[in-house]
Amino acid sequence: MSLNLSRKILKVIKFSDFYGNLIPLLKIRLECPKTGRDKLVLGLIDTGSRYTVVNKYTGKECFKDDELKTRYVDKVIINNREYYRYSFRFIFPQLDGISRDFNAAIIEYNPFPEEIVPAVILGREDFLRDIILCMYKSEWMTLYID
């Protein structure tokens, strides 16, 4: 734990409202070398998911196969299937623009409209590792980043 208070972040963020459903989503700027600029996507905070995952369609939109090969980290088992994990840079505009590298598997989700399905699922092992998360009345979330 760092004693430098300038590095600690405490944020209260309202859940996103989609068709009357409140969902704990964060805005993420995902590096996107294929287009030459970051892509703004939504990330679902999921305390039930061990690993962080990126939607296959977002991955293909932002990275060529050769670029992914240089980012390879390891293999993981998710739902009895083996997936490769790659290192990605995520920037969180709602969290004072902090930028971190996370290992994420690329998985194909059902092809629902993009505004309903998050492009990233933020899991325990990566995103929640250094964060204290409190959810209040399924409307607000408080994130404390050490």
Q: Over the stretch 22-57, which tens digit does the pLDDT of each residue have?
A: 888 899 999 999 999 999 999 998 888 889 999 988
Percentage of the chain exceeding pLDDT 70: 90
Q: How many helices (H) and strands (E) does the chain have?
A: 2, 12
List pLDDT tens digits, range 97-128: 888 899 999 998 765 655 567 889 998 888 88
Q: Give the pLDDT of residue 23.
A: 87
3-state helix, strand, coil split of the chain in percent (to 5) is: 15, 50, 35
Separation CA 105–CA 57 (nearest Å): 13
Contact 55, 119 (CB under 8 A): yes
Tell me the average pLDDT of the chain: 86
Choose which CATH entry (3.40.50.970, 2.30.30.230, 3.40.50.1110, 2.40.70.10) describes domain 5-145.
2.40.70.10
Separation CA 95–CA 32 (nearest Å): 20
Neighbour tally for 137: CB within 10 Å? 7
Contact 62, 39 (CB under 8 A): yes
**Do strands 9-14 and 81-92 pair parallel, antiparallel, or not at all (unpaired)?**
unpaired
Element (H, E) at 65: helix 65-69
* 3-class DSSP assignment, residue 57: helix
Neighbour tally for 32: CB within 10 Å? 17
- Whether the pLDDT of residue 96 is over 90: the answer is no
Q: Give the pLDDT of residue 48.
A: 83
Global pTM value = 0.84
Q: Give the pLDDT of residue 38.
A: 92
